[in-house]
Structure 1
Amino acid sequence: MSRIGFIGLGIMGSPMASHLARAGHEVIGHTLDPKAYARLEADGGRSADSVEAAVKDAEIVITMLPNHPQVEQVVLGPDGVFAHAPKGALLIDFSTIRPESSIALAEAGAAAGYRVLDAPVSGGQGGAEEGVLSIMVGGTEADFETATTIFEVVGKTYIHVGPHGAGQVVKAANQLVVGGTYALVAEAIVLMEALGVDAGKGLDVLAGGLAGSTILERKRKSMVAREFTPGFRIDLHHKDMGIITDAARQADLSLPTAALTTSLIAAGRAQGLGSLDHSALLKVIEKLNGLDEK
């Protein structure tokens, strides 16, 4: 079992840290919301009032934070991970950030005597709670092998996809597929309901055929019921679509469906839906069609 400093106990990080503590790892967590400590402590972990206190004896440091500015501050800042963790510690960044930021973190870590993996996850809050996340990992093969004892606790699928930054590229592709799928499911619901078909029954059929997906499996009932409690907020998906847009520009690629999905998610934020689950793209499609909210 490993000594783990876990930074970021939000919607995703909290259940992940608890899984690790229950599995027998020594987990010391730090977060900005003190209310999150109760769950970790109940599951056998400990809380720390600073990044330094969380990582000072850690063999493995885990970060699960909203975006690259927070990751860079926590890892590279004067009171951050590289200032206080033992030399040789392995940093696993589960956050979704820009590929170039992950590469820069790995380079800074190597210069300072630390190993780094970018390991963004997919599966949302449900996947984190159930410990069945999909994890796409960038870094060295040796560090990936070291980290498998962590990945096997919080994930169902974990694959080494390439060098530093590659995990973030795969996660960008993942968010493109997820965002586009939500938009299509939203349009399917609007189409069926407009023509007098029970959308719930219709989606049950779709989920069992070639159109089936994890999104239909997990979210079709809540979408039809217009329940958009956030498992992954539109605000965060908007950030991810920006990563996709930047990556496509760097690669000189035209991704028209990505551009449309980006616009729909941006519309959701403009309509004040940013704090809702990304399945609330249904509300965006309804508004485009002049339909009353349900």
Structure 2
Amino acid sequence: MTTIGFVGLGIMGSPMASNLLRAGFDVVGFDLVASSLERLAAEGGTVATSVARATAEADVVITMLPNHPQVEAVAFGDGGVLESAKPGTLYVDMSSIRPQTSRRIAEEGTAKGVRVLDAPVSGGEQGAIDGVLSIMVGGPAEDFAAAAPVFDVLGKTVVHVGPHGAGQTVKAANQLVVGGTYALVAEAIVLLEASGLDAGVGLDVLAGGLAASRILDLKRESMVARRFAPGFRIDLHHKDMGIVLDAAREAEVALPVGGLVAQLIASARASGHGSLDHSALLKVAESLSGKGDAA
């Protein structure tokens, strides 16, 4: 598997494609943003002028797109992946979308002789740059094994979690925990500062105890400093929480804390913070207490 068609060269997709190039794969990429294609070409990749051209001769096709409407258009549309891919192609959708969309792609892919995996990721832009993403994969075990050389370049934790759609369900659970953790870290900062304490020092202590988390490790300093340059935008986490609640409805389970987290993220988006990093949930926590920008 030496030729990879890569559709979606955004914040996550572009560094992922770069890592694949450095690992020796031939990458043929397509994106609607000219600067993304220029970056791919500068790093030795091949620019395609359409999804079909990125897909037709690829051994593996990867899509990394914002949401299910874009994935459906690329997968099912005229000249799309399922129409253009040669039989036996391995199609790996690494977007974060609804599990039912992943299952539909797999069903139609099987009918066309295309092998399909859903493989959403966690780790944000820095994880994509460093090639240390967590990748949760749904689909047949033999196709997961076939994709291992690609996954090994892109991720550090790569796990086959179940059948088609399972990767998306695990990703939804991931976003549930991440969103909830950000919300609580934000409240901890508000509490510490309102009590006259140094929030940075307080979070240093928390990061060394039972409250430790990757979010505290990576984001406590930037949150205290109110630096919210996007690694993963509020807009995208808002989308993901919709997937969480949809999956809960399909599974017929109640997620009361998840529902509250979804509303907090929706509030951040409605307040104009959608383009900021999801750590900007701190702005919502401050607003609720009349602190920060709301003071």
**TM-score, length-scaled by structure 2:** 0.98
Displacement, 1:42?
Answer: 2.8
Q: Which residue of 2 aligns with 1:57?
A: 57
Structure-2 residue corresponding to 1:81: 81
Show the counterpart of 2:214. 214
Distance 2:29 2:129 in 1: 17
Give the equivalent residue in structure 2 for 1:15.
15
Deviations along 1:38-92, one digit per CA (max 9) or x if unpaired, are 3322322111111111111000000000001100100110121111121110000
Question: Contact 1:40/1:47 (CA < 8 Å) preserved in 2?
Answer: yes
CA contact under 8 A between 1:131 and 1:156: conserved in structure 2?
A: yes
Q: Distance in 1 between matches of 2:153 and 2:4?
A: 13
Q: What is the distance in 2 between the residues matched to 1:144 and 1:162?
A: 10
Q: How many angstroms apart in 2 are the aligned matches of 1:212 and 1:244? A: 24
User: Distance in 1 between the 2:92 and 2:52 partners?
Assistant: 16
How many residues align? The count is: 294
Provide the residue aligned with 2:143 in structure 1.
Answer: 143
Aligned AA (1:207): A
Q: 2:269 matched to 1:278?
A: no
The letter of the residue matching 1:159 is V
Q: Retained in 2: the 8 A contact 1:96–1:171?
A: yes
Report the alpha carbon displacement of residue 248 of structure 1 after superposing the two structures with TM: 1.0
Equivalent residue letter for 1:41: A
The Cα offsets for residues 100-139 of structure 1, whole Å up to 9 and x where unpaired, read as: 0000000010011100000000000110011100000000
For structure 2, the residue ranges without an aligned partner over 5 or more in a row are none
2:243 is matched with 243
Counterparts of 1:135 and 1:252 in 2: how far apart (Å)?
26
- Aligned partner of 1:107 in structure 2 is 107
Please tell me whether the aligned partners of residues 8 and 30 of structure 2 are also in contact (alpha carbons under 8 angstroms): yes
Determine the C-alpha separation between the residues in 1 that align with 2:3 and 2:187. 47
How far apart, in 1, do the equivalents of 2:14 and 2:40 lie?
7
Alignment partners' CA distance in 1, 2:157 and 2:42: 27
Q: Which runs of 4+ in 1 moved over 4 A?
A: none
Rounded to whole Å, the distance in 2 between the matches of 1:40 and 1:128 is 15
2:104 alignment partner AA: A
Letter in 2 for 1:212: A
How far apart are the structure 2 equivalents of 1:226 and 1:20? Answer: 34
Q: How far apart are the structure 2 equivalents of 1:198 and 1:152?
A: 41
Contact 1:9 1:29 in 2 (8 A): yes
**Per-residue CA shift, 1:155-187, capped at 9, x if unaligned?**
000000000000000000000000000000000
Superposition RMSD in Å? 1.0
Equivalent residue runs for 1:1-294 within 5 Å? 1-293=1-293
Say if 2:117 and 2:137, in contact at 8 Å, map to a contact too: yes
Query: Is the CA contact (8 Å cut-off) linking 2:283 and 2:292 kept in structure 1?
Result: no
Separation in structure 1 between the aligned mates of residue 193 and residue 292 of structure 2, nearest angstrom? 13
**What residue identity is the alignment partner of 1:93?**
D
